[in-house]
Chain A
Amino acid sequence: MRGLLTLARRDFTSYFVSPVAYVVGAVFLILSGFVFYGNLSFFLGISLEALMRSQAGGGFMPPLNVNEFVIRPFFGFLAFSFLGIIPMLTMGLLAEEKKRGTEELLLTSPLTSLQLVGGKFLAALGFLGILLFPTVTYQIIMLGFGNPDTGPMLAGYLGALLLGGSLISLGLFVSSLTANQIIAVILSYGLFLILWVIGFFSEQVGEAFGAILSYLSILEHYEDFSKGVVDLSGLAFFVSMILFGLLLTVRSIDSLRWRS
């Protein structure tokens, strides 16, 4: 356990040394800032309009709820951005080691593969958390100027961390397969794309298989969290993904060690 944490800390801090982290962080914040602001100003616009009309909407008109117009879409964007960012985060972790040759140190280290992988996973997840931290200011802003529902915020962040964790563990696995960073990135994007669209095919396909496919759709589960619904099967799904991804990575690292 201690070895794992030490490694985690080492990798975590190494993130902050690499310029990639800052570029990724800045770009992410600019984009999410834009998205947040865009949704917010739109919502402000219709709020004003509704105030002027002051007419009760009936039927299907959604209530003027900041959660619905700003917060939920924000978490939706978050998922999308993770699909884009995480391969870049994870590609560094293992492929970089191989390239720099520090892999020798790693492979001969007394630490078990599990500790190695676990350490890197925690480091990446930690970094993701740091990345998300500034977005909490968005929520604070909304709390300052209105009364958004806080439940969905919590659920949203929980979902984001779980989703991020799942993508990280899969990204780690892909990264462990090759020393070439570019290939690692491309493969990761490919894998994530498949996971993303897998749910769409659930309707075209036979009954039982379709149910499986739609369960596998990470976006389906994530959507529940972004709505404010914490679903047991969603939790089980993400944890399973994380575990499976880590297992794959551990085996992959093991085989590397075998070969040397």
Chain B
Amino acid sequence: MRLVGALPVLGLLLAVVGFGWSVLLGDWPMAARLLVAGGGVLFLVGLFLNLETVLRLVRRRSTLYGTNTVIVLLLTLGILFLVNFLVARHDERFDLTASGRFSLAPQSERVVRALEDEVEFLAFFKMREKQVEDLLKEYAALSPRVSYRFIDPDEEPSLARKYDIKQYGTIVIERGDRQEKVSNPTEEHLSRALIKLSREEVTTVYFLEGHGERDPQVPERNGYSEARKGLEDEQYQVETLNLVRADSIPIQGSVAVVAGPQTPPFPEELEKLKRYLNSGGRALLLLDPEPSVGLAEFLAEWGVQVGKDVVIDASGVGRLFGAGPDIPLVTSYPSHAITRDFRVMTFFPLARSVTPDSDVRGEATAQSLFQTSPSSWGEVRLENGRAKFDEGEDVEGPVSLGVAVTWRVGKEGEDSASSEERPGDDGSGQEGTSTSGEARLVVVGDSDFASNSYFGSQGNGDLFLNMVGWLAEEEELIAIRPKAPENRQIFMTATQTRMVFAFVVIVLPLLVVVSGLGVWWKRRK
């Protein structure tokens, strides 16, 4: 008899378990469905069998009261849930710290609030770092579309592989099927990556043609099809452009690449390139030692000295990799955005020196990107295939092979103070200026390094892609200065420390005990 009485309870229990299970999984496996169905049936059957008792129960006042209570509770819960939900959606956070450590910069806030899709931060850390979590929490608090997750790459190797995680502390920001990887999780880097992700426009890389430049469609060893594939993998669009036929290079979302021209450009092409750069354009010039195409003068205006030499690397390191002295190697990189975390070796078959000119006019800053070893030099005169360092004539090592130049360009119509100094500006701008207000130029003394035969070797491909990546950054440079580290230190002498200990651990509790005893004593009276 007791068993029959227990049936409805049992049935209810089973149903709840089944339902709970499915909710936990977020899915409806067969077993859960059976549990719910079976439990439901059992419950009904039990009710039926115990009909008399049930009716008596229902009529009792306490049950009515109980049901009433349950309804009130559920209603209240519902209201509270709703209120919390609404508040969470329109959350406001008040950072009471003096330095605003837990609030994001206005630029970051702008980016997050402008987001229209779901964005997820995947933080691949061995352990949850508090600082990083604090930062991610702030991003997530700004918009219900932002969420974050900590993933231990060792515990989830498949995920780590999926996102190609190479080191701990990498954060992948995912938006739909696009993603950005950030290896240094500061607010600046994360916001930049967010900006990149939220841009709808795709950057187009224009390979200029018409002078025997490398062809991104050619799959042979001297072609650039590998480079193109690498670019397309990074969501860039690749096109070719002939500056004789085209009026100008499109200014928005573009990077121009001149890869190994074989003949000198026409003056009008040079003009268009100049105008493009002066409007905030971004260009990558890869110039081989032979044949010389006379761009030296053009580039000198931007503080880039292109040497009429061939760089010889006599360090012997190359021979370990089967590279002769005419293939200079680069193993260390000065700090620049392009090579910031770059640790891999790169090599440049048949290269010429490209050096920054410290004497550059205007606001341009030219910086050497990488240099060969000290036991190398730029050979000006190659006689009978034999090279020797000639003091005074040849360029002494270490030799710079690449230079990056940046300079600010005024917005259209603005009269910037240094307009006379701006190299080659003839006033007739092309359609508008880029939104970033900054022109960038990278010149490398070799185009072979990124050709199909060498693109996949060592760090060559990555270096090429990094260069384009740096050039493509269109967003206004968000220089989000990291919150100044607060120095709030405490200095106490040993005596003072002891006194604090005594006070805190002994005196205070003692006071409590004493007052307790005091009260007890008083009550005894």
Could you list which residues of chain A lie within 8 angstroms of chain B, going by C-beta atoms?
A: 16-17, 19, 21-23, 25-27, 29-30, 33-34, 36-37, 40-41, 43-44, 47-48, 50-51, 57, 60, 62-67, 70, 134, 137-138, 141-142, 145-152, 154-155, 203, 205-209, 215, 224, 227-233, 236-237, 240, 243-244, 247-248, 251, 254-255, 258-259
Q: Are A203 and B96 in contact (CB under 8 A)?
A: no
Asked whether B266 is an interface residue with its Cβ less than 8 Å from the other chain, the reply is no
A215–B88 CB distance below 8 A: yes
When distances are taken between beta carbons in the complex, the residues of chain B under 8 Å from A41 are 497
In the complex, what's the smallest C-beta–C-beta distance from B151 to chain A, in angstroms?
9
Chain B residues contacting A27 (CB-CB under 8 Å) are 509
B490 touches A65 (CB 8 A): no
Map CB proximity to A onto B497-519 as digits: 1 under 8 Å, 0 otherwise: 10011011100111111011001
How many A-B pairs have beta carbons closer than 8 Å: the answer is: 186
A-chain residues with CB within 8 Å of residue B515 when the two chains form the complex: 22
Task: Tell me the complex Cα distance, A44–B493, Å.
Answer: 10
Q: Given contacts A67-B97, A233-B84, is CB(A44)–CB(B488) below 8 Å?
A: no
Quick check: A209 and B490 within 8 Å, CB to CB? Answer: no
Are A228 and B65 closer than 8 Å at their CB atoms? no
Residue of A nearest to B510 (CB): A26
B97 touches A149 (CB 8 A): yes
23 A-B pairs within 8 Å (CB atoms) are namely A16-B519, A19-B520, A21-B516, A25-B509, A25-B512, A26-B516, A27-B509, A33-B509, A37-B505, A44-B492, A57-B485, A137-B504, A148-B490, A152-B96, A228-B97, A229-B93, A229-B95, A229-B102, A232-B87, A232-B90, A232-B93, A236-B87, A258-B62
Closest A residue, CB atoms, query B70: A251
Closest Cβ of chain A: how far from B120's Cβ, in Å?
11
CB within 8 Å for A40 and B509 given contacts A63-B485, A155-B96, A231-B91: no
Whether the Cβ atoms of A17 and B523 lie closer than 8 Å is yes
Cβ of B413 within 8 Å of any chain A Cβ, yes or no, is no
Identify A149's interface contact among B26, B98, B523, CB under 8 A: B98
Contact partner, B508, options A43, A137, A154, A207, Cβ 8 Å: A137
Nearest chain-B residue to A24 (Cβ)?
Answer: B512
Those 8 A-B pairs whose CB atoms lie nearest each other, nearest first: A206-B26, A22-B516, A151-B96, A63-B485, A33-B504, A146-B490, A33-B505, A236-B87
| CA distance in complex: A253, B76 (Å) | 17
Known: A146-B490, A231-B91. A34 touches B96 (CB 8 A): no
B93:A145 contact, CB within 8 angstroms: no
B513 and A209 within 8 A (CB)? no
Q: Is the CB of A145 within 8 A of B97?
A: no
* Minimal beta-carbon separation of B98 from chain A (angstroms): 5
Q: Within residues 59 to 113 of chain B, which ones have a CB less than 8 A from any CB in chain A? A: 61-62, 65-66, 69, 72-73, 76-77, 80, 83-84, 87-88, 90-99, 101-102
A149→B489 CA distance, assembly (Å): 11
A-chain residues with CB within 8 Å of residue B25 when the two chains form the complex: 205-206
Q: A25-B509, A60-B131 are in contact. List 11 more A-B contacts (CB 8 A).
A: A16-B519, A22-B512, A40-B497, A48-B491, A145-B490, A149-B98, A215-B88, A224-B93, A228-B101, A228-B102, A248-B73
Pick the contact of A240 from B84, B129, B149 — CB < 8 Å? B84
Closest residue of chain B to A72 (Cβ to Cβ) is B130
B414 lies within 8 A of chain A by Cβ: no
Is B91 a contact partner of A232 (Cβ separation < 8 A)? yes
Are A151 and B98 interface neighbours, CB within 8 A? Answer: yes
CB-nearest residue of chain B to A154: B96
The interface residues of chain B lying within 8 Å CB-to-CB of A205 are: 24-26
B154 CB within 8 Å of chain A: no
B487 located at the interface, meaning its Cβ lies under 8 Å from any Cβ of chain A in the complex: yes
Cα separation A254 to B347 with both chains bound (whole Å): 84
Q: Would you call B94 and A230 a contact (CB within 8 A)? A: yes
Task: Name B25's closest neighbour in chain A (CB-CB).
Answer: A206
**A146 vs B492: C-alpha distance in the bound complex, in angstroms?**
9
Nearest-Cβ distance from residue A33 to partner chain B, whole angstroms: 4
| Listed residue (A67, A208, A232) with the most chain B CB atoms within 10 angstroms of its CB | A232
CB distance from A229 to the nearest CB of B (A): 5
